[in-house]
A and B are shown apart, each in its own frame.
Chain A
Amino acid sequence: MSKVSGKTQAKAHDAVSTVERAAIVLSAFRQSWDFLTLSDVVEYTGLTKPTVFRILSSLSAEGLIFQNEANNTYGLGFLNLRLADVFLSHQLLRQFALPIMQKILDRLNENVVLGVRDGERTYDIQVLESTQVIVPSQTCGLAVSLHESVAGRALLASASAEDRASYFKNHKGKLATLPGGEKKIKQYLRQIEAVGYASDSGGILLGGHTVSKTFANGKASLSISFPLARFSSDLEKMSIKLLEEAVDLLAGNLPD
């Protein structure tokens, strides 16, 4: 009896560790926008070639991976679109923000980004991309610690003192490695609080500038991002004005 139970446990363990490896394989596709070869995936994941091959074949049968038979490379499959679509369908903030974001895009033709806070991280859930030739590359769904992005810092600035203190406590080690450390971030947050928006260059958006403002009681942010080369004080002022109008409009539209 105990032998059977041991086998069952081993089977369950195998199955779960395969899910772990499959998740690692899928995550490898975040490293590049190109199709990947089997060797690329092996290199990104550190798993063995036969394991990666088996997992890619299984994921391909499930629709999570798309195999380009012409050159034997792998990309992401259609099921990713459908799962993302299901995820987005219950993001109420997005439904309210989307038409307003579209109006900002029509006015400025610069990237307009909706971010949401989830615990101590922020995720972009919608990027309306500018049609200009040079645009910032912004991928949705990537987890970013609040202090690492302009939008995240705006969210952190609008958090309660208790919430902020807990964040600083949990990220002490990480913040200490930054130039200027925790002190500089705190100074930055005070500045955001004073003016009501965040506006900064660089950070995780290398070579870009972002203006960001929070709404929905600090649960979400609206940002406008553009290449640093296009920065001007007029563009920054216009971005701030449009974001302020958008946030006012959202405050009137959002359910309690």
Chain B
Amino acid sequence: MKVTYLVLSGYNKSPALSGEERYQIEGISNAVALLRRFSRTSSRKTLTELASEAGMSNALTRRTLETLAQHDFIKCVAPDEYELGFGWLSLADIRRRQVGIRQIAYPVMRALRDRLNETIILSIRSGFKRISIDYVESSQSIRRTAQSGFEAPLHIGSAGKVLLAGLSANDLEIYFDRVPLIAFDNSGYVEKNLLRTELEAIHKCGYSIAYREITPDAAAISAPLYDHHGNTCAVVTVSLPADRFSDRLKAQCIRELLKGTLEISTHLGFSVINEQLCP
């Protein structure tokens, strides 16, 4: 079977592609299709396996692999047996230095704001706190304002709870041991068992909703961003005036937010089927 899923975005939409250009794109698609066949559970592959899985001839597969091997992207470990090469390490290293989470998230946050016209906030965890690092504000006359550098404990507000839900069981216990679960307005304590149940629910459904929790007249929905290891590395929040928070808008916000956060996570290297590179 020929691989056709690879160039669906962008280039092949152009009607002006010549035959030669199509072959060129096909060459890259084929090469990436071969690379994607390697996974954590299947790190070594034979020529025949690769050719049959990518729907390519043995001859073309061999030539493509040889070309990639010349650049350290593939390593021939035995006759007709291949693994990924060292070359990916340097590119991954540079990629980590090149692209900050803010840079990746911003265009998606802006698109999310344009669709919902509500304020979108990006936050990360710093120790036991959640910190806002970027935002795109709504253009509506009544809007939730945002502020970079705003801090709150993790057990309060939708963004913090998403980050808390993403902690390992061990780290969560450390949080409970060290941080007094005081409500944001100092009005009392958050009940630990209730919070645990809430965190489990967030973990299960993939988002968190807070109503008048940190700011008395605001509501918020937050969803996690995952890195290439599948760990929660940041959180995106849609925040809006509480009196605009209808059931209909809530449903729309959840839908759009989950779509947006998945898009950002994918750019961060997260794969829904994390163990398998195949689409």
- Footprint of B on A, CB under 8 Å? 11-12, 14-20, 22-24, 26-27, 29-30, 33-35, 54-55, 57-64, 66, 68-70, 75-90, 118, 123-125, 127, 139-143
Identify the stretch in B64-72, B167-175, B184-192 within 8 Å (CB) of chain A at 4 or more residues: B64-72
- Asked whether B118 is an interface residue with its Cβ less than 8 Å from the other chain, the reply is no
A84→B106 CA distance, assembly (Å): 25
Interchain CB contact (< 8 A) of B23 among A15, A57, A82: A15
Q: Are B28 and A140 in contact (CB under 8 A)?
A: no
Q: Are A23 and B228 in contact (CB under 8 A)?
A: no
A96→B71 CA distance, assembly (Å): 28
Pairs A–B under 8 Å by Cβ, sample size 7: A14-B27, A54-B25, A78-B269, A80-B88, A85-B229, A141-B88, A141-B91
Q: Write out the residue numbers on chain A whose beta carbons fall within 8 Å of the beta carbon of B38.
A: 83, 86
Interchain CB contact (< 8 A) of A85 among B71, B73, B86, B228: B228
Identify the stretch in B2-10, B133-141, B252-260 within 8 Å (CB) of chain A at 4 or more residues: B2-10
Known contacts A33-B94, A55-B28, A81-B95, A143 near B269 by CB under 8 Å: no
For B98, the closest partner residue in chain A by CB is A75
Known contacts A33-B94, A84-B88, A22 near B28 by CB under 8 Å: yes
- Asked whether B271 is an interface residue with its Cβ less than 8 Å from the other chain, the reply is yes
Distance in Å: Cβ of B137 to nearest Cβ of chain A: 18
A127→B87 CA distance, assembly (Å): 15
Proximity string of chain B (19-45) to chain A, C-beta cutoff 8 Å, 1 when within and 0 when not = 011011111111110010011100110
A12→B51 CA distance, assembly (Å): 14
Q: Are B86 and A58 in contact (CB under 8 A)?
A: no
Q: Write out the residue numbers on chain B whose beta carbons fall within 8 Å of the beta carbon of A16.
A: 27, 60, 63-64, 67
A63→B28 CA distance, assembly (Å): 12
Q: Are A20 and B89 in contact (CB under 8 A)?
A: no
Q: Are A23 and B103 in contact (CB under 8 A)?
A: no
A22→B31 CA distance, assembly (Å): 10
Q: Write out the residue numbers on chain A whose beta carbons fall within 8 Å of the beta carbon of B95.
A: 66, 75-78, 80-81
For A20, the closest partner residue in chain B by CB is B67
For A10, the closest partner residue in chain B by CB is B23
- Asked whether B84 is an interface residue with its Cβ less than 8 Å from the other chain, the reply is yes
For B87, the closest partner residue in chain A by CB is A141
Q: Are B84 and A87 in contact (CB under 8 A)?
A: yes
Interchain CB contact (< 8 A) of B92 among A55, A60, A141: A141
Interchain CB contact (< 8 A) of B21 among A54, A59, A87, A124: A54
Which positions 75-104 of chain B face chain A at CB distance < 8 Å?
75, 83-99, 103-104
Q: Are B97 and A33 in contact (CB under 8 A)?
A: yes
Distance in Å: Cβ of B208 to nearest Cβ of chain A: 25
- Asked whether B59 is an interface residue with its Cβ less than 8 Å from the other chain, the reply is yes
Distance in Å: Cβ of B68 to nearest Cβ of chain A: 6
13 further A-B contacts with Cβ under 8 Å, apart from A23-B73, A78-B95, are: A14-B24, A16-B67, A19-B28, A55-B28, A58-B24, A62-B29, A68-B103, A76-B95, A78-B269, A82-B269, A85-B228, A123-B86, A125-B86
Distance in Å: Cβ of A159 to nearest Cβ of chain B: 19
Q: Are B68 and A15 in contact (CB under 8 A)?
A: no
A26→B64 CA distance, assembly (Å): 15
Q: Write out the residue numbers on chain A whose beta carbons fall within 8 Å of the beta carbon of B104.
A: 66
Q: Are B88 and A83 in contact (CB under 8 A)?
A: yes
Q: Are B40 and A86 in contact (CB under 8 A)?
A: yes
Q: Write out the residue numbers on chain B whose beta carbons fall within 8 Å of the beta carbon of A76.
A: 91-92, 94-95, 98-99
Interchain CB contact (< 8 A) of B90 among A18, A58, A77, A139: A139
A57→B8 CA distance, assembly (Å): 12
